[in-house]
Structure 1
Amino acid sequence: MTTVAGQSAQTTYDVLVIGGGKMSDFRVMASAVTDLVCAKLGRPVQCRTHRETLEGAPVNEIPFFPQPPRYLKIFLRRQPRLRELHALIYLAFAFLRHLLRRALNRSRPANAESFADYYK
């Protein structure tokens, strides 16, 4: 992950760029960017990404996810293509569930104005 904060000589706008990282690092990246933006705004507010889900709801207890049966683990270990397909289907359903939750909650995407209003 790389974050670069700077100001162009031709404009008065500050530019903050974040690049790299993986999907599993999004919370760490969001925390770093939020800390930089808040510092630039002169409002050092503690980042709260670790206390919220992707939808913005508070994080409750981590749910219990049962382990797959032993025979399924052995079978999938021996069949790498099926293991890959199993993982893709699992991720597709998780993503679909996420999209449905967002659609049903009718949440609006964040923009710069709502971000600035929140930290006023």
Structure 2
Amino acid sequence: MSNTLIVYTVGYGNSSDRSFAMSDATLKRGFQYKGILLHSSHEAAVEDMEDDIRQGEDPEELGVITLKINRNGDLYDEYGVMLHDQIALQNNQSKLEVRQHLQEYFLHEMADRRSKLEAATESAMGM
């Protein structure tokens, strides 16, 4: 299993005053996730951003941001800046809560991606 997972989110504002869409959802297999809204594909993040624009958000203030999560629950932006403090403040959580949610999200997303890969492999082999 990889040590790093690439995910995407929609960022609002500029890099010095950036905020993120937040999520409080039940993912597959009953996993309760509360934190930054993450997408496993760039396309899904773009769709989310386009939906925000349709709802009146300023397109000049939005952008899709590539993020990296590791198995320890560390979340970095494309410049290597760790985002725990910013997310904790925005979501009224402690940094420990943010890290725990991201660790769980990492494990959930890796399992989901692995099962999709296995299903595609079985399908390609005619099983």
Same fold flag (TM > 0.5): no
Normalised by the length of structure 2, the TM-score is: 0.28
Looking at secondary structure, tell me which structure has more helix per residue.
1
Normalised by the size of structure 1, how large is the TM-score? 0.29
More strand by share: 2
Higher relative contact order (CA 8 A, sep 6+): 2
